[in-house]
Amino acid sequence: MNLSVIGDPLLLLQHLQAKQLENGHISNTDISLLADKLSLSATQIRGIISFYSFLHCNKNIKFNLLISDNITDRMQGNAAIFKTLENRLGQDENVLLQMTSCIGMCDQGPAMLANGRTITCLDDARTSQVCELIRQQQPVEQWPNELFTVADNIRKKGLLLDDTFEAGAALKKLVEHGADQCLAQLDASGLRGRGGAGFPTANKWRFCKQTESDQRYVICNADEGEPGTFKDRVLLKRYTSTLVEGMTLCAGITGASKGYIYLRGEYLFLKEKLAETIQQQRDASLLGKQILGKSGFDFDIEIHMGAGAYICGEESALIESMEGRPGIPRKRPPFPVNAGYRNKPTVVNNVETFIAAANIIQHGADWFSQAGTDKSTGTKILSISGDCELPGVYEYPFGTSIRQILNDCRAHNTQAVQIAGAAGHLVAEKDFERTIGFDDFATGGSFMIFDHSRNLFEVIQNFTAFFKHESCGFCTPCRVGTSLQHDLTDKLAKGHATPYDLNELRTIGQLMRTSSHCGLGATASTAVMDLLEHFPQLVEQQLAHSDYEPAFDLDAALQQAREITHRNDDSAHHGERS
């Protein structure tokens, strides 16, 4: 991202990110200078800093350690790792140690970020090594490279992962046959967005193309924040040139001249490779001015870094973030294809969708549509983690059963599968013959497995805590609903819930689903509702009474006051004394 543009407030987040990475914090001086440079108030800037979890103003922090706290990290022992770090580094004022949401390393956890750099497979030895490096005050940039190794773990390849894409092939087809024929190929292929919602890709690109404007944009949503999802991490690393070509193809079809890759802050380690590939595409005349020598075919890409906000995976929230504001979803319509980034027509698709589009134009619509089902053509790339012998990235035709996937990754004694991340469905064993696809279980790619040794209430607690933390707070159903949902599931997990509480959970979940401003609130109760519906015996066993029991014991809370005042009479108690 070019930060030399003076006076553009839309670049605020990128300036803040640069300062955070350079100095380990954002100083009051930085805030004052940016306020003057961008014609913003210091209060506005502080508001942005407080919204994004990766930004802070703690000037003494030299080592910012963020431990991934997805449920799969917990299953792999992140609590013990956190405790070790806390015991050995807790008194060091140079260290900020915190838990954070899933960082996309579920196949090789427990994992952490050290000043934005990813460390996986934490065990006692690696944790002790980190502690010693910090004790020696050795800068993170000088730590051994082996600490920062991230495996790809590609376990099963299909149409998109088979490495047969030929650089430039899709763009040559575009130049030779034109935009309309390429759109027709995408239409015939049945390609739908791979982020989970499944909107037809050709329609989205066509709507953007048909909107009158002097400028259009193409944005790759690489903010893979859904817990349990990490397949885009591998695509961004191994299939980078195909992604860039897919974005350029979209630009050639829609008439866009500028593109951005919105890269989640947790994937900072991929930024350098992305930048190198973008430059290589320019050098090969596959990006930049007069692509493939065609006059007027001009398109270039920049990388825009996120800063730790799950809500920015929603396309309009992502655009708000790119424009230097908190990532609060917009009211729609208008949709981004009509009025998106900088109020111009904008296509937002995720990494897998652009890669699929480039492959379809090279190989043809039939090549893609022959896989999958009539309503869900093609393949889906899954991020598989949890209780299985072979976690990693798998590619399957739509229509593949859950049981087949469990067999392939060597999962045993499976109790439940969480499909599509924390926002998706909790699937019981009776439904393992059902399939992945838009006509059954749609998924953005997360597939978390829990065997019978796992406490599903702890799983749900983790999910509800995640949504409570990640709600942007804009609308009441989500802001209040996620908090109430978390409190009630905590009560259920601790064995204090009653049928009254279960009804409250259902009521709150339905309210969130129908009244929330965006998809976060609308889907935040899905796993909770599935637990109540599909695991009734577990829930019944967990209930304390058949009638109402308050979550807060007021009489017990008054005990300290009674001791201070040396009172124990009836008036000093709440309710009847036993």
CATH number at residue 443: 3.10.20.600
Q: Do both 222 and 164 map to the same domain?
A: yes
Domain of 426, in residue numbers: 379-454
CA distance 188 to 363: 13
CB 568: neighbour CB atoms within 10 A?
11
CA distance 566 to 574: 16
β pairing state of 258-263 and 95-100: unpaired
Q: Which residues contact 155 (CB under 8 A, 6 or more apart)?
A: 384, 390, 392, 393, 394, 408, 409
Position 546 pLDDT exceeds 90: no
Q: Do both 327 and 235 map to the same domain?
A: yes
Q: Is 562 a member of any domain?
A: no
Q: Do both 398 and 435 map to the same domain?
A: yes
pLDDT at 4: 46
CA distance 411 to 417: 11
Q: Which of 151, 171, 191 is the last residue of a domain?
A: 151
| pLDDT (tens digit per residue) in 284-316 | 999 999 999 999 999 999 999 999 999 999 999
CATH number at residue 500: 1.20.1440.230
Q: Do both 161 and 307 map to the same domain?
A: yes
Position 502 pLDDT exceeds 50: yes
Residue % of the chain over a pLDDT of 90: 89
Q: Is 222 a member of any domain?
A: yes
Q: Do both 362 and 270 map to the same domain?
A: yes
Q: Do both 512 and 475 map to the same domain?
A: yes
Q: Do both 365 and 406 map to the same domain?
A: no
Q: What is the mean pLDDT of residues 159-165?
A: 92
Residue % of the chain over a pLDDT of 70: 97
pTM of the model: 0.92
Q: Do both 309 and 170 map to the same domain?
A: yes
Tracing tokens 């193809």 back to the chain, one arrives at 249
Position 1 pLDDT exceeds 70: no
DSSP designation for 342 = G
CATH number at residue 120: 3.40.30.10
Q: Do both 435 and 464 map to the same domain?
A: no
The 3-state DSSP class for residue 2 equals: coil
Closest CA to 10 of 325, 340, 259: 325
Q: Which residues contact 396 (CB under 8 A, 6 or more apart)?
A: 156, 158, 379, 380, 382, 404, 405, 436
Cis peptide leading into residue 536 (ω within 30°) = no
Reported as type and span, the H/E element at residue 79 is helix 78-89
Q: Do both 293 and 200 map to the same domain?
A: yes
If one counts the domains in the chain, the total is: 5
Q: Is 570 a member of any domain?
A: no
| pLDDT (tens digit per residue) in 11-61 | 999 999 999 988 889 999 999 999 999 999 999 999 999 999 999 998 878
Q: Is 518 a member of any domain?
A: yes
Q: Is 516 a member of any domain?
A: yes
- Compute φ and ψ for 25, nearest 5 degrees: -170, 175
How is residue 557 written in tokens? Answer: 């809370």
Q: Do both 504 and 421 map to the same domain?
A: no
Q: At what angle do helices 42-51 and 12-23 cross, to 10 degrees?
A: 70
Q: Do both 130 and 170 map to the same domain?
A: no
The answer to whether 5 and 12 are in contact (CB under 8 A) is no
β pairing state of 300-305 and 95-100: unpaired
The answer to whether 220 and 259 are in contact (CB under 8 A) is yes
Position 454 pLDDT exceeds 60: yes
